[in-house]
């Protein structure tokens, strides 16, 4: 709507403003999610693949002793701790952006309801 100019077709300034905010928040969220996917597939999974045989994990064929051994290996690796910390921090940022998108949607819906209730 914003790139095509269709947003200007909406007469209500408040709804147009809220939709603009929603679009901005959604775009930020998409950007964060894309960055997180890239981090996961370019850094986190390759790191784990170098240390663990991930084929056992994905097919539920890893025994508890294998899992314990692999956890011990990971716990001794400083890079793993750093990657986990980064991943948790980045997921929290993504969740914050997702919450902002949700709030934007709720604000648009509330304003639409107000406008419809005042419709002649």
Domain boundaries, the chain: 36-97
- Helix, strand, coil percentages (3-state) for the chain, rounded to 5, are 85, 0, 15
Global pTM reads 0.70
Summarised one tens digit per residue, pLDDT across range 73-103 is 788 888 888 888 888 999 999 999 999 999 9
Summarised one tens digit per residue, pLDDT across range 19-41 is 989 999 999 999 999 999 999 89
pLDDT at 63 over 70: no
Task: Check: CB of residue 83 under 8 Å from CB of residue 47.
Answer: yes
pLDDT for residue 67: 67
């Amino acid at each position: 709507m914003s790139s095509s100019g269709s947003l200007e077709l909406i007469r209500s300034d408040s709804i147009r403003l809220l939709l603009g905010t929603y679009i901005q928040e959604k775009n930020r969220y998409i950007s964060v999610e894309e960055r997180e996917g890239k981090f996961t597939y370019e850094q986190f999974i390759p790191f784990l693949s170098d240390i663990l045989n991930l084929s056992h994990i994905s097919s539920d064929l890893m025994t508890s002793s294998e899992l314990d051994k692999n956890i011990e290996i990971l716990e001794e690796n400083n890079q793993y701790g750093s990657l986990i910390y980064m991943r948790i921090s980045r997921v929290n940022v993504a969740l914050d952006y997702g919450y902002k998108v949700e709030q934007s949607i709720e604000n648009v819906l509330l304003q639409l309801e107000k406008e419809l209730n005042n419709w002649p």
